[in-house]
Amino acid sequence: MMKYTVIGLAAATALSVTAVGALAGGVAPEPETPVIVQPAPPAMDWTGAYGGLILGLGQGTYGNGTNFPGDGEGDWDGSLYGVVLGYNIQNGSWVYGGELTYSGANIDGSEACVNPAFQCYGEIGSIATLRGRVGYLAGPSTLVYGTAGLAMADLTFGTTDGLGGGGEQSRNVNGWVAGLGFEQAVTERLNIRGAILHYEFNDDTYQTDVPYTNVGGDLDQIELGVVFRF
């Protein structure tokens, strides 16, 4: 009888200790859900070819500084529209490359000649460029860059009296272009861009009603574009 009493007492004691432990600590917490760390997405790689469309607004001056037009200098302005093809090479935060552009243009201006019965006018029909670019990544998707290179423009200069008098001549002339711009990646393949560019075109002689020598021009352009990265 004593044996069973001792066994019962020991069991009751163990049960009491277990109950007290449960009351003291509460219900045991459920194990935490493990946190899965996702790998960071790879940084955008700017290396590769691209092509796209460009639009622009431009204004500048034309003339020869003496007698074309009457005071030697006229103003022209208008729009440009074209295409761009290029290639980038990324080295760390720096991006290097080059590009070709071709734009049709509706740039023109007209002012009185020395003889006020005539108007002396100038027009830009198209501009092609070969530009180098050096850029710095302000962020993984944002490039700021400088650009400079060669330009060729289809220029026309002429005179008219509105009655069929006068004449004009067109020439393809060389020049240069330089500017600053930015480019922003919108998706993995699609970028938008903008730039401020300055052109200088070489002087030449143009036969109108009379020959005018050393006639040239310049142009400041705001260029916007959309490019697709291949």
Residues 19-52: pLDDT tens digits? 444 444 455 556 677 666 555 445 689 999 999 9
Domain ranges of the chain: 48-229
Residues 2-11: pLDDT tens digits? 344 434 434 4
The pLDDT score that the predictor gives to residue 44 is 83
The pLDDT score that the predictor gives to residue 27 is 54
Highest CATH level, class, for 48-229 = mainly beta
Q: For residue 82, what are the β-bridge partners?
A: 54, 103
Q: Can you list the residues of the chain whose pLDDT is less than 70?
A: 1-31, 34-43
CA atoms of 141 and 46, how far apart (whole Å):
9
pTM recorded for the entire structure: 0.81
The pLDDT score that the predictor gives to residue 7 is 41
CA atoms of 216 and 203, how far apart (whole Å):
4
Q: Which of 141, 131, 151 is nearest to 202 (CA)?
A: 151
